[in-house]
A and B are shown apart, each in its own frame.
Chain A
Amino acid sequence: MRELTYTAAAREALAAAMAKDPSIFVVGEGIGARGGNFNTTAGLYDLYGPMRLRDTPIAERGFIGLCAGAAMTGARPVVDFMFLDFILDAMGELINQVAKMQYMSDGRLKMPIVLRGSVGVGGSAATHHSGNYYSIFAHIPGFRVVLPSTPYDAKGLFNTALRGDDPVMFLEHKLLLNTKGPVPEDDYAIPFGQASVVREGGRDCRVTVVALAAMLRKTLDACDQLAKDGISVEVIDPRTVAPLDMDTILQSLHKTGRLLIVDETFAPCGIGAEIAAQAVDRALDDLDAPVKRLNGAHTPTPYSPPLEAAVIPNAATIEQAIRDLLAE
């Protein structure tokens, strides 16, 4: 099958949607003629012009608030943050307005707004460009929170984001943007809340690992190492953390008896804590060992490569965490 980069796959979904639906417009800094800092909109300005590819002032709070008003009145905005860290300037608009609008209006207003941007630790981006705040957004009622890990998922999930009527956080890990993978040409959509079993464990498999976004590749690398010792691991990528497909995780846990959540971001009140709580709540009898989490350090993100590497899980630490859990 044809291969595309992660960014190109999402862009293909955006371009096809814009061709069909004139109410879709994109805002962001440098997303017009420049085509986006990460090429998220390359080529689209020539087709659709400034009204639909709108370069904005550096006014994150302002343009999210503006897009909220546009979404309430029939348009479908896509907000491109380049780095999602900049969204923090607009938390009031997001949590008090965007996330609550459908509820406040008793369902009479829709909020079809896609908020996209790069997230995550990598490339010495340092702490103002390495944020990974998906657990915060998943905590808030009203957001869909999406973290594709492959080009295939990026296109399919972006299509779903563009077709729904809810606010979607579409979070693109910066280490994945230029990764390549097979992407079908047809216009498929991947529903939110459907985890993918990325690596199926054998019949003797005694551990399930949940990993997201950039942690998925590292987890698979760890699994390759473990396979050399005959250790089988089942790996699940939730793909969306809100909604969270707990059923798929619990089905796997039922089979394996052990659960590890590998999460690049902070442990306290994080998505790993949520998954662990639900596992204990709903599947205590399936657990042969405590649920374990492997998280990034609870610290701002440092710049220097050895410091940066020290605050996030890697294939070796993941491999060790799996071995430790199997020894429990």
Chain B
Amino acid sequence: MTQTTGKPLTKERLLALYRTMLVIRRTEEQLARAHQAGLIHGACHTYVGEEAVATGVCANLRADDAVFSTHRGHGHALAKGVNPAALMAELFGRATGVSRGRGGSMHLFAPEVGLMGTSGIVGPCILQAAGAGYSFKLLNTDRVGVAFFGDGAANNGAFHEGLNMASIWKLPALFVCENNLYATEVPFSQSAGNPNVAERSAAYGMPGVLVDGNNVVKVYEAAREAVQRARSGGGPTLIECRTYRTRAHSEGMRDAGYRSADEVEAWKARDPLKLLAAQLPADDIAAVESEVKAQVDAAYDFARNSPYPDPATATTHVFSE
């Protein structure tokens, strides 16, 4: 693990991080209920338990930095600035959704806040983030490209090709591996010859950091250093965040037979929201709770009452004109 140094975060900053994590948590819980109620028409992979990763990383990003996400992308979208109402509306298939109802959970697009897509395909986000880095360097900006991806994706060829190109061309990019120990039901220890992802960075000649992905402050600090390096021309960084999803791989899927209840409980005891809340005044936490509850309730009402898209739009935008 790399030591990150820097000033301790202010209470305001910590509360802001808490708030983002809570928006993700409450939105996901609402989505899970909506899934059970039949309001979500397709897949829904929640981010419950992993909130600290997207939150800690995106708190270091600007709206014009580009995030490329995964099938488990609600947290990335919300942390990057997507409104929970537009996210829920998308999963409900409504015209007011971020992708106007044509994408659902795995095709969330909000380029106006730098969310360049969640994805139904494991792997390409790594290459696209490197490509954003290429573009930002070519165009002489100080923007950065960020890929979030799972431990499963770390075994995909895109990881190898993407990290190598980012390294040889010193691209302003961040590769954030969310190692939640499983790809669906396959333990990472059984699919990786060396299950330490951060160590692989050495093979590509770039810095690699292993952080506690349930500790938002640690994630924040590691990402801050990596983003600064990228912005100042120092090239890419691989950050491995060890974390855990505490719900099933996907809503409605079984969640037994491949991991023990003890393991799940042990990780729940290290819930990223609890860990941070313990450092903050209870009054402040309560205030954030009620604020976020109101926001998520309103988002749900908005989404549920939004119209479905006009079928005439089903074939628009295949081409640019």
Residues of A bordering B, CB below 8 Å: 22-23, 25, 51-52, 54, 56-57, 59, 61-75, 77, 92-93, 96-97, 101-112, 141-142, 144, 164-166
**Known contacts A69-B130, A69-B131: A23-B139 contact under CB 8 Å:** yes
Bound together, the chains give a CA A252 to CA B168 distance in angstroms of 54
Residues of B within 8 A of A52 (CB): 138
Neighbour of A105 across the interface among B117, B133, B158, CB < 8 A:
B117
Residues of A within 8 A of B99 (CB): 104-106
Residues of B within 8 A of A57 (CB): 161, 164-165, 168
Give B321's nearest chain A residue, CB to CB.
A165
Bound together, the chains give a CA A106 to CA B320 distance in angstroms of 10
Residues of B within 8 A of A141 (CB): 318
9 further A-B contacts with Cβ under 8 Å, apart from A68-B124, A72-B132, A102-B320, are A22-B139, A63-B161, A66-B130, A70-B131, A72-B66, A72-B116, A74-B139, A105-B117, A107-B320
Q: B138 to A23, Cβ gap below 8 A?
A: yes
Q: B127 to A93, Cβ gap below 8 A?
A: yes
4 smallest A-B Cβ distances: which pairs? Answer: A69-B131, A65-B127, A62-B161, A69-B128
Neighbour of A103 across the interface among B162, B168, B318, CB < 8 A:
B318
Give B140's nearest chain A residue, CB to CB.
A22
Interface size class of B (residues with CB under 8 A): 35 or more
Q: How many A-B residue pairs have CB under 8 A?
A: 154
Residues of A within 8 A of B137 (CB): 51
Residues of B within 8 A of A92 (CB): 121, 124
In the complex, B272 has a CB within 8 A of chain A: no
In the complex, B102 has a CB within 8 A of chain A: yes
Neighbour of A104 across the interface among B117, B160, B162, B169, CB < 8 A:
B117
Q: A70 to B134, Cβ gap below 8 A?
A: yes
**Known contacts A62-B127, A75-B138, A96-B121: A56-B132 contact under CB 8 Å:** no
Neighbour of A107 across the interface among B120, B128, B161, B316, CB < 8 A:
B316
Which of chain B's residues 98-131 have a Cβ closer than 8 Å to chain A? 99-100, 102-103, 107, 109, 111-112, 116-117, 120-121, 124, 126-131
Neighbour of A62 across the interface among B117, B133, B139, B158, CB < 8 A:
B158
**Known contacts A23-B138, A102-B320, A107-B317: A68-B158 contact under CB 8 Å:** no
Q: For residue A33, give the distance in angstroms from its CB to the closest CB of chain B.
A: 16
Neighbour of A73 across the interface among B107, B127, B131, CB < 8 A:
B131
Bound together, the chains give a CA A69 to CA B318 distance in angstroms of 18
Residues of B within 8 A of A103 (CB): 102, 317-318
**Known contacts A61-B157, A72-B66: A66-B111 contact under CB 8 Å:** no
Give B147's nearest chain A residue, CB to CB.
A69
Bound together, the chains give a CA A281 to CA B1 distance in angstroms of 67
9 contacts between A and B (CB under 8 A): A62-B157, A66-B127, A69-B66, A69-B129, A69-B130, A72-B135, A73-B135, A96-B121, A102-B320
Q: A102 to B319, Cβ gap below 8 A?
A: yes
Bound together, the chains give a CA A178 to CA B198 distance in angstroms of 49
Q: For residue B271, give the distance in angstroms from its CB to the closest CB of chain A.
A: 33
Residues of B within 8 A of A96 (CB): 120-121, 124
